[in-house]
Amino acid sequence: MLAPVPRPPGSLAVRCSRALLSPRARLSLLALLLLTAAALVVAYEPQRLLASGWPARTDGAGAVLLFGLAYGVCTAAFVPRPVLNLAAGALFGSAFGLTAAVAGTVLGAGISFTLGRYLGQDALRPLLRGRWLTAADGQLSRHGFRSMLAIRLFPGVPFAAANYCAAVSRMGYVPFLLATALGTVPNTAAYVVAGAQADAPGSPAFLFSAGFIVLSGLAGAVVAWRKRHGLRAPAPVPAAEPEPVGSAR
């Protein structure tokens, strides 16, 4: 009998598998997923379902858990978080609404971070050129928790953009998720309380939450402007080291 002829190492199957798993192919898959998610959000507007079409018989802890899961998926699909936070407050009140919103925020951030890390990091890291991109990558890679906490506290950077920038950097999962959970509480709580008190716009709780939203937005704009000014400033020239005394010339 004739022995089976072994396939050469560079066969068609091997080349196809390498092409499908290449960084560019994974980045293309990520772009397709994000475009599909954005199209579904525009077409079906899931935030309206969460706000007004919630099942009437769903209540208690199960409703909070279900809302948190839906919140996370919608956030990963680019549904604006302020709308979801207002819906959480209107549906569950301040305490349970904040719990569902923060849990959904962490879940959505984790989904986006995972997609960006495994589908986009290898293809995008070689493209990190220029002062702004290099500075942002270095800050997130070296000081992940501190940088992400500042980003979450001041709502100047879009939520999805921060998730994918962190995924492309070398930040770890634990600092990213912990900073997200802690940093989003103040701003999320303001929106949730505003949603819970929407039927009483003259109440102190509603006025305080609305004022906090405005002030945090202004503070975020000021911080972003100062960081932008610092990045535009020319890098300092290192001083020349003095020659040692008695050195040969």
pLDDT digits (tens, 9 = 90+) for 117-148: 988 877 777 776 666 667 777 888 888 899 89
Q: Which of 9-13, 149-153, 234-238 has the lowest mean pLDDT?
A: 234-238
Provide the pLDDT confidence category of residue 204 given band limits of 50, 70 and 90.
Answer: confident
Sign of the alpha-carbon dihedral angle for 45, 51, 54, 58:
positive
Judge contact between 155 and 220, C-beta under 8 A.
yes
Mean pLDDT over 64-83 rounds to 90
To 5 degrees, how large is the angle CA 24–CA 27–CA 32? 125
Rg of the chain over all Cα atoms, to the nearest angstrom: 24
Q: Which residue has the higher pLDDT, 247 or 168?
A: 168
What are the percentages of helix, strand and coil residues in the chain, rounded to 5? 75, 0, 25
pLDDT band, residue 16 (cuts 50/70/90): low
What pTM was estimated for this model as a whole? 0.76
d(CA 78, CA 63): 22
Q: Between helices 144-153 and 173-183, what is the axis angle to 10°?
A: 30
Share of the chain above pLDDT 70, in %: 72
What is the rounded CA–CA span in Å between residue 83 and residue 73? 14
Alpha carbon 82 to chain centroid, angstroms:
14
Q: Determine contact, residues 50/87, Cβ cutoff 8 Å.
A: yes
Q: What residues contact residue 184 under an 8 Å CB cut-off, 6+ apart?
A: 102, 105, 152
**How many residues does the structure list for the chain?**
249
Residue listed under structure tokens 């302020």 = 82
pLDDT digits (tens, 9 = 90+) for 220-231: 677 666 665 544
Helix 131-142, helix 144-153: angle, nearest 10: 110
- Asked whether the beta carbons of 183 and 109 are under 8 A apart, the reply is no
Q: What is the rounded average pLDDT for all residues in the chain?
A: 79
Question: Element (H or E) spanning 80, and its range?
Answer: none
Name the nearest CA neighbour of 64 among 230, 240, 192.
Answer: 192
- Which pLDDT value is given to residue 1? 47
pLDDT at 99 over 90: yes
Contact between 176 and 166 under an 8 Å Cβ cutoff? The reply is yes
On the 0-12 / 13-18 / 19+ scale of CB atoms within 10 A, 242 is exposed
CA-wise closest residue to 170 among 148, 136, 141, 129? 141
Task: Give the span between the Cα atoms of 209 and 131, in whole angstroms.
Answer: 37
In this prediction, residue 180 has a pLDDT band, given cuts at 50, 70 and 90, of: very high
Confidence grade of residue 243 (pLDDT, cut at 50, 70, 90): low
CB 201 within 8 A of CB 157: no
